[in-house]
């Protein structure tokens, strides 16, 4: 921790702790209702869950919605992430575990708080 140095709060996404096959159950989606779903390299919030239809409504940042069944989600390799924030200061080191083409970051790339990333 870099006490006394300039710090910022940075939003991060942590992979939800879900075992293999659990995404096939609607109850898993209900438990992780606040998670973000990564589908086709686009993050979606869980906008709704219909027990009657067995479908999940996903919505991207532009408001586009998509219906998906739990089985389809598994077949398409959907991953759920829980939003969080971390405090990062000058000199702190971080490792990005996922590529972010928009920001020019590669998976496993290491950065420090001095790099001017923010």
pTM of the model: 0.75
Using the Cα atoms of residue 27, residue 30, residue 36 and residue 40 in order, give the sign of their dihedral. positive
Between 94 and 8, where is the model more confident? 8
Residues 46 and 58 sit within 8 Å (Cβ to Cβ): yes
Residue 103 pLDDT class (50, 70, 90 cuts):
low
Q: What is the pLDDT of residues 46-86, one digit of tens each?
A: 999 999 999 999 999 999 999 999 999 999 999 999 999 98
Quick one: pLDDT at residue 2? 47
Residues 64/102/107/10 CA torsion (nearest 10 deg) = -80
Phi, psi of 33, rounded to the nearest 5 degrees: -55, -30
SS3 62: coil
SS3 75: helix
Structure tokens at 68: 């998906």
């Amino acid at each position: 921790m870099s006490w006394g140095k300039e710090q910022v709060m940075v939003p991060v996404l942590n992979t939800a702790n879900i075992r293999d096959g659990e995404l096939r159950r609607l109850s898993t989606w209900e438990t992780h209702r606040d998670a973000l779903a990564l589908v086709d390299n686009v993050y979606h919030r869980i906008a709704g869950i219909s027990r009657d239809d067995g479908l999940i409504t996903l919505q991207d940042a532009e408001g586009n919605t998509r219906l998906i069944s739990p089985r389809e989600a598994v077949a398409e390799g959907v991953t759920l992430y829980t939003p969080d924030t971390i405090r990062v200061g000058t000199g702190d080191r971080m490792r990005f575990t996922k590529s972010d083409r928009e920001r020019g970051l590669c998976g496993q790339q290491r950065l420090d708080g001095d790099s001017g990333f923010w």
